[in-house]
Amino acid sequence: MPNDATVQQAAADLFRAPHALNAALAALPTTAGLYAWWAPPEVLAPFHGPADSGDGGRRLLYLGKAKRLRSRIASNHLRDSGRSTLRRTLAGLLIDTQGYRTTWTDRVVLVPEDEQRLTDWMHRNLALTWSEHPDPVPLETALISRLRPPLNVDGARDGTTLDRVRQARAAYYASAGPRPATGENDSGSGGGRSGIA
């Protein structure tokens, strides 16, 4: 478990004024660390994360870890719903209002044009902070417990928020319909649910 000073430093980094995503992509390091996603209160209004001390008009929605911050954000969270829990959650929350469509590959993914539409939505509505650290896994656990970001299942503050996140993820998977038969034994795939945070 990281010491309190390490946790406080990481929290301080994450609570700096968030970067717009274009600026974040240019500045993100290639090292390991943590990242935090922020939104104004009117975006996904039912989800009440802590406010950012550097920008009171934003609140924390989701926190994650990465071995390589830049590639995790650019290649997963801003591109591929099959490899991003955040994207799947957002797509599920927005599926009724945005009309996102999903399909099966080896897992459930958004159709290509809707992957781009979700990325565009994220650029319009979300911002990012990060903290470099060589061993982000225990820090992520400590910070989720402390900060309770509402889109992290482990961070949901109350049963209603947790239910909304779980329902959104279920809606995302259900929208693709039954898994097509492949003729092969595909048990153990878990419907393509990725363990990547």
Query: What pLDDT was estimated at residue 118?
Result: 98
What Cα–Cα distance (Å) separates residue 8 from each residue in 36, 129, 139, 166? 15, 15, 10, 30
The domain spans of the chain are 8-175
The Cα 162–Cα 166 span in angstroms is 6
The one-letter amino acid at 10: A
pLDDT digits (tens, 9 = 90+) for 152-181: 988 766 788 999 999 999 999 999 999 998
Mean pLDDT of the chain: 90
Query: What pLDDT was estimated at residue 197?
Result: 41
pLDDT digits (tens, 9 = 90+) for 44-72: 999 989 987 766 789 999 999 999 999 99
